[in-house]
Structure 1
Amino acid sequence: SGSTGRPKAVRVSHRNLASAQAAWRQTYRLDADVTTHLQMAEPSFDVFTGDLVRALCSGGTLVLADRDLLFDTTRLYRTMRQERVDCAEFVPAVVRGLMEHCARE
């Protein structure tokens, strides 16, 4: 983990990544329902790898968002609509902000 200090390298085999992708494909319905993924995590964070693999291995689109969008829900919402994002992972505070924004709209 790099969240509390210096990031530690982790070796991930091709088999492990392929297995994770197969599970994500089924869980997220990547073959049918999900085509555009929003990426806002730092490259050193495991969420970045998950978003990247889910998008690329399913033939989807990966939208790379600026980190400052996390703090501007109006721009974040607008970006998600413009790019037709249908898959994103957020921390609870960002979800709350998006929900409040949608309630006002």
Structure 2
Amino acid sequence: MTTYLVEWTGREATMLRRALRLTAERFAARVGVSPRTVAYWASNPAVAPRLSTQETLQEVLDAARPEVKARFHELTRTTPSDQFTEAVRREALAMFASVSQTIQVGAL
């Protein structure tokens, strides 16, 4: 199953992270962005990442195992936007809190 998106948004990036079952930190490292960017995508599902990042997201999806692609397809197909927005809002708040604590501890 090949899934090619014309334009990636924060919603699809978040669904890819969920399909891969990665933490924000591990997903950020794989895509080449900061965990804060991953949290931003999660809390702003309509935002479009930079074109180079969209290409990387597509490459990550293309290289994923078939079961990951199937989960991604199912998540993007069946997640109503209102449910997605609420679930991701809660997740993003938790990620921001985690990233903020890490930054504060690292600054000490």
- TM-score tier, shorter chain, comes to under 0.3
By relative contact order (CA 8 Å, sep 6+), the higher-ranking structure is: 2
TM-score, with structure 1 as normaliser: 0.27
Answer 1 or 2: which has greater helix percent. Answer: 2
Considering only CA atoms, is the larger Rg found in Structure 1 or Structure 2?
1
Answer 1 or 2: which has greater strand percent. Answer: 1
